[in-house]
Amino acid sequence: MIPIARPLVGDAEAEAAARVVRSGWLTQGPEVAAFEAEFAALVGAAHACAVSSCTTALHLALRAAGVGPGDEVVTVSHSFIATASSVRYCGAVPVFVDIDPATYNIDPALVEAAITPKTKAILCVHQIGMPCDLPALVAVARKHGLRLVEDAACAIGSEIRIDGRWEPIGRPHGDIACFSFHPRKVITTGDGGMLTTNDAEYDRLFRLWRQHGMSVPDTVRHGSRSVIFESYPVLGYNYRMTDVQAAVGREQLKRLPDIIARRRALAHHYRERLAGIPGVSPPVEPEWARSNWQSYAVRLDDGLEQRGVMQALLDRDIATRRGIMCAHLEPAYGQEPWRAGSSLAESERAQGTVVLLPLYAQMSEEEQDQVIDALAAVVADARTGGGAGARKG
């Protein structure tokens, strides 16, 4: 069976986790601080704050951006549901605009028309690792005095060319970027997230809110020679990352360059071989973007039925996933609160015609050829009428 993804973890991570357990300091300690410093240096951000997931990172980012009850946030429906849900955690209304059908990312041309006096922020997503058009989004945000938050859940290691220089996603180019370390992403801590920003005040708020709104962090209390009574000036949450997770994350950061290089080589090979399969289009990478290929998304032409193609591949021991979901089509979004800021036709079409193929750093060329050969056979079957399940009609 060829899986859709497989985290690259091993002895280094196991030993790092054991080191923390033996140290006796299991959360909000030296490993979290070191992971934050190393992550900030990697993406070129002034500050990085570790939290329990990207979803909690998004909640804190939007709260810092001033998003509250009754406000609106312009974002995409075509994303993992956590993007839109983080807006609702703030009591605000997600306003969905459509995607660019080539990149599956927010179409910057549609954002301006969706802005109202209630809009506080734009929440863009670097979908499955593909950078979105940040210069265009920054321009709209600045023009309207809005904060730009980047959902970079999948985008560690992705790069964008700005003023002729390649820069990592996460500097951030907007105001705040949020990353995920779920095992389905490129590097993992089991669960975990990171907020990056160049704004010291935002970073102070993230640290306050992730730890119950407590005025004095554990590190300060533990190190103090005089008695300290903490206070709780604001409502906070428990959004902490543990030191066990952070120690694993530090080992993952060491692997990141090799993981990205391998994923890019595999993506290159997919692109070359897909050229010989009619009806299946490879993903589009703008010349100013370098994806980390967190997922490899192919588009099926009209005439090929998504579920049938996926089932036929599964019958050949190859796992795939449907293209990115649309939050507004889920029962949890059946009623308000959300609003369409444009037609969502391309978002819905992408959900129904895109298939994600297996891609992971340990994948061998033989495994990859197995996937492509199976896909070619399934498509050929469907086109000649043999694979009725995969043929539309």
Ligand X SMILES: *Cc1c(COP(=O)(O)O)cnc(C)c1O
Hey, which residues are catalytic here? 185
Task: Tell which positions 182-201 bind ligand X, by CB under 6 A.
Answer: 182, 193
Distances (CA, A) of 77 to 82, 214, 324, 343, 357: 10, 35, 10, 11, 22
Q: Which residues are CB-contacts of 319 (< 8 A; sequence separation ≥ 6)?
A: 1, 2, 3, 4, 313, 358
In the list 154, 186, 374, 379, the residue contacting ligand X (rule: CB under 6 A) is: 154
> How many secondary structure helices (H) and strands (E) does the chain include?
12, 15
What's the DSSP call for residue 29?
S
CB 55 to ligand X: min, Å: 3
Q: What is the 3-state secondary structure (H, E, C) of 273-294?
A: HHCCCCCEECCCCCCCEECCCC
Which span sits near ligand X by CB under 6 A: 48-56, 338-346, 360-368, 383-391?
A: 48-56
Nearest approach in angstroms of CB 191 to ligand X is: 6
| Choice from 48, 125, 132, 310 touching ligand X (CB under 6 A) | 125
Binding residues with ligand X: total (CB under 6 A) = 14
**Does residue 28 bind ligand X (CB under 6 A)?**
no
170 binds ligand X (CB under 6 A): no
- Residue among 111, 117, 122, 128 nearest 87 (CA): 122
| 151 makes contact with ligand X (CB under 6 A) | yes
Pick 55 or 353: Cβ nearer ligand X: 55
The Cα 308–Cα 382 span in angstroms is 9
Please identify which residue in the block is written with the tokens 């996926």. 310
The residue (of 82 and 130) whose beta carbon lies closer to ligand X is 82
User: Is residue 29 within 8 Å of residue 219, measured between CB atoms?
Assistant: yes
Q: Is 79 in the site for ligand X (CB under 6 A)?
A: yes
Two structure tokens written together for 374: 């199976």
Taking the complex as a whole, how short is the minimal distance between the CB of residue 50 and ligand X, in angstroms?
12
Q: Which of residues 49-78 bind ligand X (CB under 6 A)?
A: 53-55
Q: Is 180 in the site for ligand X (CB under 6 A)?
A: yes
Enumerate binding residues for ligand X (CB under 6 A): 53-55, 79-80, 82-83, 125, 151, 153-154, 180, 182, 193
